[in-house]
Amino acid sequence: MVEDFRGLLQAFICRFGLLAGDQTPCGKPLPVSDAHALMCLLEAGEAGLLQTTLVTRLGIDKSTVSRVIARLSDRGLVASVPSPADGRARPIRLTRKGTRLAREIDEASTRRFAALLKGVPPRRRTDVIMALRDIVAALDGLHPAPEPQQGLRP
C-alpha cells in the first residue's frame, strides 16, 4: 500500500508539472515557488507580507524565501517599503506589474484546476477533495504548519 501511495503521488507530481523549475503547471514562465509567493502577496493585498510570514505560508526556509523575493524584485514584481508604523518592518508588496502577473497566474491556475477536476468523475470529486484534505492534515501532523495553507493555487 505504501509503495502504491508513493508511486501515485510521485506520478501526480511529475504529470502535473511540479518538477519543471522554470514554469508553473498552469504554463506561466516562472518557478512554482515564485508563483506561490505572488499568490500569497495577491491575497494579502496592500498590506503586503513580512518575509517571515512568507516563510510560514510557503513552507520553505528563510534563505530560499530570500532568493524568491530577490528574483521577484529583480523582475520588478515586488517591492519592500518600510512600515509606516515603526519604520523597521518591511512588508513585501506587489508592484502593479506583480499584481497583473499574480492575477494572470490566479486565472490560469483556476482554469487548470477546473480542467483537472472535470477529468474526475462527478460522483468521485467530493471524495478526491476529502482525500486531499486528509493528506494535508497528515502532513501537518508530521510537520505542523503554523498557518493553514489555503489560497495557494498555482
Q: 20-142 has which CATH code?
A: 1.10.10.10
- Which residues lie closer than 8 Å to 68 by C-beta, 6 or more apart? 31, 33, 34, 37, 54, 58, 60
Which cell goes with 141? 501532523
Q: What is the distance between the alpha carbons of residues 108 and 86, in angstroms, rounded to a whole number?
A: 38
Q: What is the distance between the alpha carbons of residues 28 and 111, in angstroms, rounded to a whole number?
A: 13
Other C-beta atoms closer than 10 Å to the C-beta of 91 total 19
Per residue of the chain (154 residues), what is the pLDDT tens digit?
Answer: 899 999 998 998 888 888 877 788 888 888 999 999 999 999 999 889 999 999 999 988 999 999 999 999 999 999 987 766 666 668 999 999 999 999 999 999 999 999 999 999 999 999 999 999 999 899 888 875 555 444 454 4
Q: Is the pTM of this model over 0.85?
A: no
Residue 148 has what pLDDT? 46
User: How is the chain split into domains, by residue range?
Assistant: 20-142
Tens of pLDDT along 51-79?
999 999 998 899 999 999 999 999 999 99
